[in-house]
Amino acid sequence: MVAARVAAVLIVTMALAGFGSLRAGEAQDTAFATLKSELWPVAEREGVSRETFDAAFARLEPDPEVLRLANRQPEFTLTATQYLDRIITPARIADGKAAYLKYEAKLKVLERRYGVSRFVLVAIWGAESDFGNKQGSWAVFRSLATLAASGRRADFWKTQIVEALKIVENQRISPDKLSGSWAGAMGHTQFIPSTYNKFGVSFSGTPRGDIWDNPADAMASTANYLAQSGWQRGRTWGYAVRLPDGFQTIDEMEASTRPLEGWRKLGLKRETGGRFPRPAETARLFQPEKTNPFTAEKANLSAFLTIANFDVIKTYNNSDLYALAVGLLADRLADELSWR
């Protein structure tokens, strides 16, 4: 749910496991007052006016629900099967096809411009906000201030507050206009403030795209982010493979990397048949049901050989399951729209 960053926001929120609730009453008020006094000099140096700053902090109070949700990341509390079934649903596939067809011309432009698969862009859009239907209604400043005042990763969250203030100042909008997820991610593809300020672009290529109300701008920003994170043009994210009999017992193979040709020589074959297109390409073996620590059950999932673009997707959200869900959803959309 949380989106891209200079590295993805979830790489940060993972560290929030174990958060307790904020202290009550006067202690909460003191924490917020201290936060405000610490941030004003920083915001002023970044060009934020006092008027903007005071408007953002007006009537702010802690939100305990934010901290509760920080402990319940689905990537780390669901089994692999449960997680994938939550992301890749018949409704999402149908809605993804409709969204793709509506924006097909623009998606093709973005793919040519940035080199990022247009189907991956649609898959991220679906995974992050259900194609704009679930962008989040949390007040961004309240969420970020709550996280900053809690003391965990305080410097990161303080930076996000200043970055959000810069958005308000530069775009001359009310702080109340900034809404999003409980962790401050915003728009159709859920950018946190620092990521928006660094990578946000409009479809035309100019800075400061409208990721809240313009899906084309949101996908352009996402394509720009992935391209600058190292996306390899014209390549996929990985391959579903069949393992030879007995291979699943060789635990030391898990998470090791070797060329695709090396994996082939060990007996791994593509589920779709055929050879790997670039045998020298380095790949990592990923077996979701073996690497998810939250279940002892054996899920009936394929094994996968993941390549460089899989790790680029993980910069958006630092979770193997997230990257796998995006990759599989993108492949499913591509397959069902192949007649295009």
DSSP secondary structure string for all residues of 215-260 = HHHHHHHHHHHHHHTT--TT--SEEEEEPPTTGGG-GGGTT-EEEH
Both tokens of 6, joined, read 């200079």
Q: Is the pLDDT of residue 216 over 60?
A: yes
Residues 306 and 283: beta-carbon distance below 8 Å:
yes
pLDDT tens figures, 44-92: 999 999 999 999 999 888 898 998 887 666 656 678 889 999 999 999 9
> For 263-285, what is the mean pLDDT?
94
Closest Cα to residue 221, out of 236, 205, 240? 205
Is residue 242 scored above 50 in pLDDT? yes
Range of lowest pLDDT (119-123, 196-200, 254-258): 254-258
- The pLDDT score that the predictor gives to residue 88 is 96
- Residue 61 has a pLDDT of 87
Q: Has residue 248 got a pLDDT over 80? A: no
Residue 255 in this model has a pLDDT that exceeds 80: no
For residues 286-306, give the mean pLDDT: 66
Q: How many CB atoms lie within 10 A of CB 69?
A: 19
Distance of CA 269 to the CA centre of its chain: 30
Q: If you average pLDDT over residues 16-22, what whole number do you get?
A: 40
Element (H, E) at 98: helix 90-114
Average pLDDT over residues 17-40: 67
Is the predicted pLDDT of residue 339 greater than 90, yes or no?
Answer: no
Question: Each residue of 174-198: pLDDT tens digit?
Answer: 999 899 999 999 999 999 999 999 9
Residue 25's pLDDT band, with cuts at 50, 70 and 90, is very low
Q: How confident is the model at residue 20 (pLDDT cuts 50, 70, 90)?
A: very low
Record the pTM. 0.87
Instruction: Grade residue 103 by pLDDT with cuts at 50, 70 and 90.
Output: very high
Q: Are 310 and 98 within 8 A, CB to CB?
A: no
pLDDT at 9: 40
Nearest to 3 by CA among 175, 187, 178: 187
pLDDT for residue 300 is more than 60: no
Pick 321 or 338 by higher pLDDT.
321
pLDDT above 80 (res 129) = yes
In 135-161, which positions are buried (b, 16+ CB within 10 angstroms) versus exposed (e)?
bbebbbbbbbbbbbbbebbeebbbbbb
| 261 Cβ contact list (under 8 Å, min separation 6) | 276, 279, 280
Q: What are phi and psi of 306, to 5 degrees?
A: -100, 145
Whole-number CA gyration radius for the chain: 21
Count Cβ atoms below 10 Å from residue 282 Cβ, excluding itself: 14
Give the 3-state secondary structure of 62-91: CCHHHHHHHCCCHHHCCCHHHHHHHHCCHH
254 falls in which pLDDT band (50, 70, 90)?
low
- The residue-averaged pLDDT of 327-333 equals 97
